[in-house]
Amino acid sequence: MTIKAQIGCSRKREGDSPWERITHIGGVNPDGTRWKMTQERAVYLMEEGWEFYVAVSGKAVWCEVAISGQGNKYIKTARDDELPSNLLNLPECP
């Protein structure tokens, strides 16, 4: 069974390259509880079949696993070119 989850926030660190700035993503479960996980965990889950998306202008924009020029895996939305700007523009996760 594929699990689909909306990302509503991200935790970022300053000064790193854009694809390394996101450390965590998070959202809200159907029961109202919050969830948060590391970007590394999200990459692993996506490789196992989970699907994450971000709401942009009321539409779902799906995430994908990308690989930086240094060979690091990270998540970004399909609409973004090299930079994960849709995720960087989300509010900070608590």
Let me know if residue 94 belongs to a domain. Answer: no
Let me know if residue 59 belongs to a domain. Answer: yes
Let me know if residue 93 belongs to a domain. Answer: no
> Can you read off the two tokens belonging to residue 12?
């970022």
pTM of the model: 0.86
- Rounded Cα distance between 62 and 52, Å, is 6
Domain that holds residue 78: 4-88
Please give the pLDDT value at position 58.
86
Let me know if residue 17 belongs to a domain. Answer: yes
Q: Read off the pLDDT band of 8 (50, 70, 90).
A: very high
User: How many domains are contained in the chain?
Assistant: 1
Q: Is 78 or 6 the better-scoring residue by pLDDT?
A: 6
Let me know if residue 77 belongs to a domain. Answer: yes
Please give the pLDDT value at position 17.
67
Let me know if residue 41 belongs to a domain. Answer: yes
pLDDT per position as a tens digit, 21-75: 889 999 999 899 999 999 999 999 999 999 999 998 888 999 999 998 888 899 9
CB 41: neighbour CB atoms within 10 A?
13
Q: Is the pLDDT of residue 84 over 60?
A: no
